[in-house]
A and B are shown apart, each in its own frame.
Chain A
Amino acid sequence: MAPTGWFPTTRNRSQEGLGVWEHRGKVAVVGIGNSPTARRWDETADTSVGAWAISAAQKALDEAGISRDEVDGVVTCPQGMGSPWAPNPIPEDFAKAYEPTDNPDDGLTGVSADWIVKNMGLKNVKATYHTPACISPALCAGAQVVGDGEASTVLVIRGTGNFSGRYGQYGAAAGDTASGPGQWTNPWGWQLIPQIAYGFDQYCRKYGSSHDRMAPFVLNQRKNGALFPEGYYYQHRPDDLKISVEEYLSARWICKPMNIYDCDMPIHTAGAFLLTTAERAVNMKQKPVYVLNHVSQRAKVRSSVETLDETEAFTDSIARKVYEGSGLTASELDICNPYDGFTLFTQYFLEGLQWHGVQRGEAHDFYAGDISVKGPHPFSSSGGNNGNGRTRWWNQLDCIQQLRGTAGERQVTLKAETALAGAFTPNMSDWMVYGTSPD
């Protein structure tokens, strides 16, 4: 096969007015798998992102009760979120254990579809694609590929490596000059974190709120993480989830008004989802979770920053597309898992979606109520990246488990028949809408 290309953006559902998704209810998630988690890679082949991606994918296949030979499509988000492994030499045991691709970092920082096909020995794959940034666009692509009949059984995978050293402080961040798009931002240190912090400050000025009013949401995310056995904190550092309001409020600033607890912690892990047609899904082992819609947001900002007006317009647009393509209304959406890594932008999604009636400027009041998973407003039941470590897929995983009724201690007490999850930012994100029924 030719090397995998990017999923064409023309196939993303990024426009408004497209109507109900043409494959609504005809594609289902039939398997989920998560590898072990670690804070950082220990540099052995067995715990490499590649090895763990294979183990996650195998779990998803085992759950569904199908063999590797039945997989005919693979979509991955090939970029990890941490630093590149290069120029470190490839560890010998990793090089011995796995077949390489053209990218020496493949299987170390992330996994390409080609690496998966080679190293899982997938013989019948006829469609492969890559997507940027998160597993969410890979899930959207996978759903469209199955819906369009390009492949019938698709593995969607992301692995993300985390190595030693300070996160993100390499490449353009480490130099004395700024070129390309960075020449307009990097001299002042403007990157995603200041963007989110500035936006949150604008939000607080507009609606008369303040950073301390984030505490109930941040603490609840960590409570939900303590109920998520697949998560990093649950497995390795459960005590870190038990922070008090005082600890949250006195935590060190990263970029005021964003503190360390508003950020998700980078981890080393891999996850997989298995998608197939609704017809095939009924013969597999798990209760199918149907895809009702997928949505992408690819918005352009007017100038060098994203203003609060733009953020609100972008998240309004996401909500309109979510509801239009799924045929659901806000009151028909049971599980709501928008992205939380950083916690300071989650309110834009919540308010855009108007989940449980939350309007613009009301999110922090909503957080002050009962948002626990056993309560009347079980918002972000996954605990997100904040409660589980940075992967950008806990919210997707939680949707599947809630709709299957297998979320364990996180299972909401309300009805869980429809669900939404997505990442990453208001201007660039991808969303999946799920239902227990194909109709």
Chain B
Amino acid sequence: MPKQAPVPDELSKPFWDACNERRLVVQNCTACNRMQYPPEQTCSECGSEHNLEWREVSGRGKVNGYCVMHDSRIRLLQADQPFNIVVIELEEDPAIKFLSHLPGTPVDQVPVGASVLVDFQEVGPGQLIHEWRVVG
């Protein structure tokens, strides 16, 4: 389904560039050994901007929970209603949460707890966005 295409900015460009190479990267503070997503200018734990790196992650995760959107304010999504909005937790750190429409999974039949794998969807000319699919 069509999605709004992200507009990369200085902070987010490395993330979206990685998506375009079909890689999922997450900001990581090497001092705190702690990942954070969405990315921020500084580590939200130690407050420093100096130890942030982009760490490539496995792209494996689990379905944490979901809801089913019937009446979105986002115009571009309205034609596809109702649709799943799923919260994914990352294998490396379940505190890191991603969002997904869970393509391939019927509406309101979301298997909470199931394993998922990252996938990439083209949402604008040359821009991929991270999505997730149930595996196994």
Interface set of A (CB-CB < 8 Å, partner B): 168-169, 173-191, 193-194, 197-198, 201-202, 205, 252-258, 300, 302-305, 307
Contacts and interface: CB of A to CB of B under 8 A. Distances in A.
B124 to A, nearest CB: 7
Interface of B: 3-9, 12, 36-38, 44, 64-77, 82-83, 85, 87, 95-101, 108, 112, 123-124, 129
Given A179-B9, A183-B7, 12 more contacts: A173-B73, A176-B4, A176-B124, A179-B7, A184-B37, A186-B4, A186-B74, A191-B73, A198-B87, A256-B108, A304-B37, A304-B38
A185 B99 contact: yes
B97 A305 contact: yes
B67 A187 contact: no
9 contacts: A173-B73, A175-B75, A176-B4, A184-B37, A184-B99, A198-B87, A253-B68, A253-B71, A256-B70
A304 B98 contact: yes
A112 to B, nearest CB: 26
A290 B98 CA distance: 45
A166 to B, nearest CB: 8
A157 B53 CA distance: 46
A233 B23 CA distance: 53
A254 B95 contact: no
Given A194-B85, A304-B37, A183 B6 contact: yes
Given A173-B73, A201-B66, A256-B67, A190 B5 contact: no
B87 A305 contact: yes
For the complex, would chain A's binding face be called helix, strand, loop or mixed by DSSP majority? mixed
Nearest to A200: B67
A169 B72 CA distance: 9
Given A191-B73, A198-B66, A256-B68, A180 B9 contact: yes
A189 B87 CA distance: 12
B37 A303 contact: yes
Contact of A187 (B4, B64, B68, B75): B4
Contacts of A255: 67-72, 85
Contacts of A302: 36, 95, 97
Nearest to A182: B4
B65 A201 contact: yes
B67 to A, nearest CB: 4
Given A194-B67, A255-B69, A257-B67, A189 B97 contact: no
A185 B65 CA distance: 16
Nearest to B71: A254
Contacts of A179: 6-7, 9
Contact of B65 (A186, A198, A253): A198
A176 B124 CA distance: 9
A191 B108 CA distance: 19
Nearest to A186: B4
A182 B74 CA distance: 11
A254 B72 CA distance: 8
A201 B95 CA distance: 18
B5 to A, nearest CB: 5
A188 B70 contact: no
A307 B4 CA distance: 24
Nearest to B83: A189
Nearest to A169: B73
Given A202-B65, A254-B70, A173 B99 contact: no
Contacts of B69: 189, 193-194, 255
B34 to A, nearest CB: 10
Interface centre among B9, B72, B95 (most CB of A within 10 A): B72
Contacts of B7: 177-179, 183
B73 to A, nearest CB: 4
Contact of A173 (B66, B75, B85): B75
Contacts of B95: 302-303
B85 A190 contact: yes
Contacts of A176: 4-5, 76, 124
A177 B67 contact: no
A17 to B, nearest CB: 21
B122 to A, nearest CB: 12
A177 B6 contact: yes
B67 A169 contact: no
A303 B97 contact: yes
A371 to B, nearest CB: 26
Nearest to A179: B7
Contacts of B4: 175-178, 182, 186-187
Nearest to A253: B70
A148 B4 CA distance: 48
A194 B86 CA distance: 10
A179 B99 CA distance: 16
B3 to A, nearest CB: 4
